[in-house]
């Protein structure tokens, strides 16, 4: 099967988010962990390559994205999507803008759009300003993100220092005019030399108009929601055949483990809800781990009934996170937690866990690497942008869900288990 749309995501939870929304079409979606080392074979209509580049050094992020693009082009894709977080997680140097410019250069395209809106998850863009629910981005909990604190809400101001070409806005008044109005404004901006266009969106109908107006662009960029209408558009115009491969669901064992490394506001609520249910739980302290290692939690895990779906978590409030970072360094504190949760994932799998729930983008990247996962097939959606996925790990078929920190409702960990029982 020739790949219709090739997607590159800057972290693993973002990749599953995008893949899950594309899978709503019912078509087969394949998610690759990192750039495959072998040439494309038996590819899906929608191929997503998950990188771990959101906070990587700029040179590495660009190189990885270019390698992913080349593999997707070999798979037959002619249209591409660069996926980043709906809260535009980045620094003044990148990596969103520089990667986009590198992909544009390789594709020979002169213009692309930026649309991080995801209204279903409370992310909207109005007059170029990004909102998280009713709060401006810079007033939301993202202002205290440990790796990419977002202290400005204006996407043009955030993007301009990251790119070398002009930045402009297509506002919602234009979007309301529909796909043709968007296309006309893009043409006018291109004549003015504008390469990078932020697009407003406050509703799903806005995203449908944007996708329709931009579907023939060689490169689109944004959060996952603006890509969600593309499968239906491709089916309608004959770009993709109606008999393209459909998604399949395997049978699994019952053992479950929940691993939470995210310290986002929503994950804190999700952990608190799960603890109230009386599940077996072990809290990781980065300072203790730095001093004593992971053996204590591994010994605890070995004694647990995995059908009770135990929780191992490093999730904490921002004050505790800053305290650990002050003593261990930002990178050091994160790496200690990621390494420990990864070791727990492998131990749980070897003990019979066939359902692994992971919260946190960096944690998800570390866990999937430790499990030796190279490809995920996308299954049922648990919450907007968070699907179950299926893969091989250590000779076993397992289900794995990778949740971005702020996604899902407070009952997510329970919802995930109930959703898998239904399929």
Q: Is 8 helix (H, G, I), strand (E, B) or coil?
A: strand
Mean pLDDT of 207-211: 98
Mean pLDDT of 83-87: 96
pLDDT in tens, 398-422: 999 989 888 899 999 999 999 887 6
Q: What is the pLDDT of residue 147?
A: 85
Q: What is the pLDDT of residue 208?
A: 98
Every domain of the chain and the residues it spans: 5-236, 255-422
Evaluate the CA torsion angle 179, 26, 72, 199 in order and state its sign. positive
Report which of 132, 112, 111, 135 is spatially closest to residue 122, judged by C-alpha positions: 132
CATH superfamily of 5-236: Putative sugar-binding, N-terminal domain (3.40.50.10840)
Q: What is the mean pLDDT of the chain?
A: 93
pLDDT in tens, 215-229: 999 999 999 999 999
Q: What is the pLDDT of residue 246?
A: 66
Residue 423 has pLDDT above 60, yes or no: no
pLDDT in tens, 178-199: 999 999 999 999 999 999 999 9
**Token reading at 395:** 């000779």
Residue 18 has pLDDT above 90, yes or no: yes
Residue 317 has pLDDT above 90, yes or no: no
Phi, psi angles (nearest 5°) of residue 14: -65, -35
Residue range 255-422, CATH number: 3.40.980.20
Distances from the Cα of 255 to the Cαs of 267, 309, 352, 410, in angstroms? 22, 7, 6, 22
Q: How confident is the model at residue 319 (pLDDT cuts 50, 70, 90)?
A: confident
Q: What is the pLDDT of residue 1?
A: 66
Q: How confident is the model at residue 333 (pLDDT cuts 50, 70, 90)?
A: confident
Cα 394 off chain centre by? 24
Least confident of 24-38, 133-147, 316-330: 316-330
**Token reading at 157:** 């101001």
Per DSSP (E only), the strands in 74-136 are 79-83, 112-115, 123-126, 129-132, 135-136
The Cα–Cα gap between 232 and 170 comes to 24
Residue-by-residue DSSP string for 204-270 = HHHHHHHHHHHTTSSEEEE-GGGGTTHHHHHHHTTSS-TTSPBP-------EEEEEE---SHHHHHH
Residue 31 has pLDDT above 70, yes or no: yes
Q: Which residues of 209-221 are buried (b: 16+ CB within 10 A; e: fewer)?
A: bbbbbbbebbbbb
Mean pLDDT of 318-347: 84
Q: What is the pLDDT of residue 365?
A: 85
Mean pLDDT of 249-269: 89
More confident residue, 112 or 419: 112
Q: What is the pLDDT of residue 422?
A: 60
Q: Are 326 and 227 in contact (CB under 8 A)?
A: no
Q: Are 103 and 31 in contact (CB under 8 A)?
A: no
- Enumerate the H helices of 351-407 as residue ranges: 361-370
């Amino acid at each position: 099967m020739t790949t219709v749309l090739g997607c590159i995501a800057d972290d693993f939870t973002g990749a599953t988010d995008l893949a899950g929304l594309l899978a709503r079409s019912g078509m087969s979606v394949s998610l690759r962990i990192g750039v495959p080392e072998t040439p494309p074979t038996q590819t899906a209509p929608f191929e997503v390559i998950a990188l771990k580049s959101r906070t990587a050094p700029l040179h590495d992020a660009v190189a990885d994205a270019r390698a992913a693009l080349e593999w997707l082009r070999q798979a037959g894709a002619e249209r591409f999507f660069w996926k980043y977080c709906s809260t535009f997680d980045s620094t003044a140097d990148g990596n969103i803008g520089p990667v986009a410019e590198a992909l544009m250069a390789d594709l020979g395209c002169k213009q692309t759009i930026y649309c991080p809106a995801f209204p279903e998850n409370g992310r909207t863009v109005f007059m170029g300003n990004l909102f998280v629910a009713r709060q401006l981005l810079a007033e939301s909990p993202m202002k205290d993100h440990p790796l990419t604190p977002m202290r400005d809400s204006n996407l043009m101001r955030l993007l301009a220092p990251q790119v070398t070409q002009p930045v402009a806005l297509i506002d919602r008044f234009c979007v309301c005019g529909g796909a043709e109005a968007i296309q006309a404004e893009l043409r006018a901006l291109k004549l003015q030399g504008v390469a990078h266009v932020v697009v407003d969106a406050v509703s799903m109908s806005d995203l449908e108009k944007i996708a329709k107006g931009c579907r023939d662009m060689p490169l689109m960029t944004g959060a996952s929601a603006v890509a969600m209408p593309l499968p239906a558009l491709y089916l309608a115009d004959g770009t993709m055949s109606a008999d393209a491969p459909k998604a399949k669901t395997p049978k699994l064992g019952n053992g479950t483990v929940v691993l939470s490394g995210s310290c986002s506001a929503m994950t804190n609520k999700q952990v608190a809800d799960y603890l109230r249910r009386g599940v077996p739980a072990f809290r990781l302290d980065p300072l203790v781990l730095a001093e004593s290692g992971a053996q204590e939690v591994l010994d605890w895990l070995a004694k647990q009934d995995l059908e009770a779906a135990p929780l191992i978590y490093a999730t904490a409030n921002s004050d505790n996170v800053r305290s650990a970072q002050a003593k261990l360094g930002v990178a050091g504190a994160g790496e200690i937690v990621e390494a420990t949760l990864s070791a727990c994932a492998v131990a749980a799998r070897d003990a019979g866990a066939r359902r692994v729930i992971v919260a946190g983008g960096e944690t998800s990247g570390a866990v999937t690497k430790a499990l030796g996962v190279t490809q995920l097939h996308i299954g049922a959606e648990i919450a907007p942008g968070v699907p179950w996925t299926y893969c091989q790990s250590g000779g076993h078929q397992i289900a794995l869900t990778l949740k971005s920190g702020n996604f899902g409702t407070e009952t997510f960990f329970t919802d995930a288990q109930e959703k898998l029982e239904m399929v």
